[in-house]
Structure 1
Amino acid sequence: MIRTKSAEEKPSKQDGVRLYVTRFWPRGHGRDECDAWLPNLAPSEKLLRAFLADQITWAAFSKEYKKEMTKGYGDEDGKNAHMRNSGQKHTLKLLKLLAKGQTVTLICSCAPDEKHCHRHLLQALLED
């Protein structure tokens, strides 16, 4: 099962494997609050900054984020031909497999009630 949560929400036993999927480490949170930090599953800095500055709509952000997760944003210049998408594809496969046997909670620093957060898009990608 895949769940989402805000870093502002307290950890619980129901969270299972807790993963920060943020581009930047959430301020004021210790390393003991999650099992792993996966910044490669966050939007690229360029995309994130454009959305936060209201330069693009949520629809455009969603489309570009999904594209980044499937097509990549890491090593498109070809220096590492075997890892063109910074490992997102492989990480997504691993998380899908992991979620079949236990709860995986994707955590972002957005507010708990924020509907326009990539953690929801990531959850949908993993459940697809």
Structure 2
Amino acid sequence: MSVRVRRVYDPAEPEDGVRVLVDRLWPRGLAKDAARVDEWPKAITPSTELRRWYHAGEGSYEEFAERYEAELAADEAAEALDGVRALLREGDVTLLTASKTPHESHATVLARLLRT
């Protein structure tokens, strides 16, 4: 089974498998039916504080990833992450984000954790 990271604004593809939105907020200007989101586990999204800190440019991506992984170790987030792992055991999973740079976003951190 594979895990992919894609922008939520990109059209759905047959190989996406289960499409999981990993952003805390719904993407601007995107209708819910057009997004084709199957799951939206908000507990695995970065906290508002961490998101604001990172977008303000106060730290590196590596430091953001460390802090985000620490947040994912909390009970509720860990449980939600296990739920996504269960989806991955059943088939392909695509993590969706509105980030303009998905390769330097929390979605990439999640994908790495899910692959291990």
If the length of structure 2 is used for normalisation, what is the TM-score? Answer: 0.89
Taking the aligned partners of 1:115 and 1:92, their CA distance within structure 2 comes to 19
Structure 1 residue 24, shift from structure 2 partner: 1.0
Instruction: Indicate if the aligned counterparts of 2:46 and 2:68 stay in contact, CA closer than 8 A.
Output: yes
- Segments of 4+ in structure 1 off by > 3 A? none
CA RMSD of aligned residues (A): 1.3
Taking the aligned partners of 2:54 and 2:20, their CA distance within structure 1 comes to 23
3-state DSSP class of the match of 1:115? Answer: helix
Alignment map for 1:1-128 (pairs within 5 Å):
1-32=2-33, 33=35, 34-70=37-73, 72=74, 85=75, 87-111=76-100, 114-128=102-116
Instruction: Indicate if the aligned counterparts of 2:19 and 2:96 stay in contact, CA closer than 8 A.
Output: yes
Residue 114 and residue 126 in structure 1: after superposition, are their counterparts in 2 closer, same or farther (change >3 A)? closer
Structure 2: which 5+ residue stretches go unaligned? Answer: none
3-state DSSP class of the match of 1:51? Answer: helix
3-state DSSP class of the match of 1:107? Answer: strand
If the length of structure 1 is used for normalisation, what is the TM-score? Answer: 0.81
Q: Considering fraction of residues, name the structure with more helix.
A: 2
Alignment coverage as a number of residue pairs? 113
* Structure having the higher Rg: 1
Structure 1: which 5+ residue stretches go unaligned? Answer: 73-84
Comparing both chains, which one has the higher relative contact order based on Cα–Cα distances under 8 Å and sequence gaps of 6 or more? 2
After superposition, give the CA deviation of every residue in 1:23-82 in whole Å (9 maximum; x if it has no partner): 111011122221122222111000000010011211110100000001x2xxxxxxxxxx
